[in-house]
Structure formats: structure tokens, C-alpha cells
Homo-oligomer: A and B are copies of this chain.
């Protein structure tokens, strides 16, 4: 991954370039985005852009990694460990569902899926800083609850995977394929309730 050596990170317009690239890549994907578009969006000349990034791929990778890190930071941040599992799970599921349905998460998912054939490192990087990261946070919480005797789980990792998977039911697939793009709170709550009910039916004490 460390072709980063060849990226020049100093200079007045570095972050401008990155921000322009972010916008355009997120809107158009990798192939869809032209370097001219990016330069225009960044209010920067093409020559300047190329003085920072040796090529389009590296620029894209940089954007993707930055976005994934930002993503991981946001999602599942405020687990209040003193509430009951049902409460915690409900709060967390609501966050997860809302996040998964955001334009932002959807678009980066699309781009990463689309390009992970061409850039295997991208797939890995996304997985590590996205889904895997979430799964770890969730596992920690579940482990805690099990130790407290609040939940009864044989395989904590698997349970965490199942939980986040349940959060994708119905709406997420529809969102990914552009069938539906607006989601009411009621729709989200419905998914959340069903996810939590199912989880508790299986792992509740």
C-alpha cells in the first residue's frame, strides 16, 4: 500500500486536491471521474494535481482510505454500557441502519465494491476499517454483556456479524440498487425492532 511514498503531502493545495477528488470520486466512481473534472472541482490546475499525485489510482486510494477512516470513526461511537442489552442494541441498531442508508456510506460501498477487483488493496482496506472495525466494537460489547450474565452467546464474533447483518434487512439492499432512496424513521425503526427482537430471542438470558 505504500506507494504513498511517492505522494507529496506538503504544499498549499494538497488538501484542496484531496477534497475535490473526494467529491468527484464519490459522485462518479473511479472510471466515471475524469482527472480534469477533479482538477476543476478542486479549483486547481491539472499540473498542480499531478505535482501531488503521480497518478489517478493513487489519488483514488488516498481518498478511499481517508473516507474509510472517517467512516469507522463515526459509526458506533456512543455505546452506553450501563443500559440493558435491549436498550443498547436498539440504540446501536438505529445508528447502524441510519448509517448504512446514508448516501455517504452507500456511495463508498459502491465504489469500493466496484473497484476492489482492480484494486485488491482497496477491498481489504475498506473491509478492515469498515465492517471488521464495527464487528470488533460490537464483539467487545457483547463479551461484556455475556460476562455480566445479561446475554448468553456461544460465539460472540458470529453474533456480532449476525446483528449487523440483520440491520441490512429489507432497506439496505433496496438502497444499494437504487430502488429506494428515502427512508422514514418508521421504516428504520421497523428494521431495528425486528433485528433486536430476533437477536434477543436467540441470545437473551
Contact = CB atoms under 8 A, between A and B. Distances in A.
Contacts of A109: 113
Interface string A104-146: 0000011011101110100110110001000000000000000
A110 B165 CA distance: 18
A168 B109 CA distance: 16
Overall SS of chain A's interface: helix
Contacts of A179: 123-124, 127
Nearest to A164: B169
A157 B194 CA distance: 12
A127 B195 CA distance: 22
B177 A166 contact: no
A113 B107 CA distance: 10
Interface of A: 29, 31-32, 109-110, 112-114, 116-118, 120, 123-124, 126-127, 131, 155, 157-158, 161-162, 165-166, 168-170, 173-174, 176-179, 190, 194-195, 197-199, 201-202
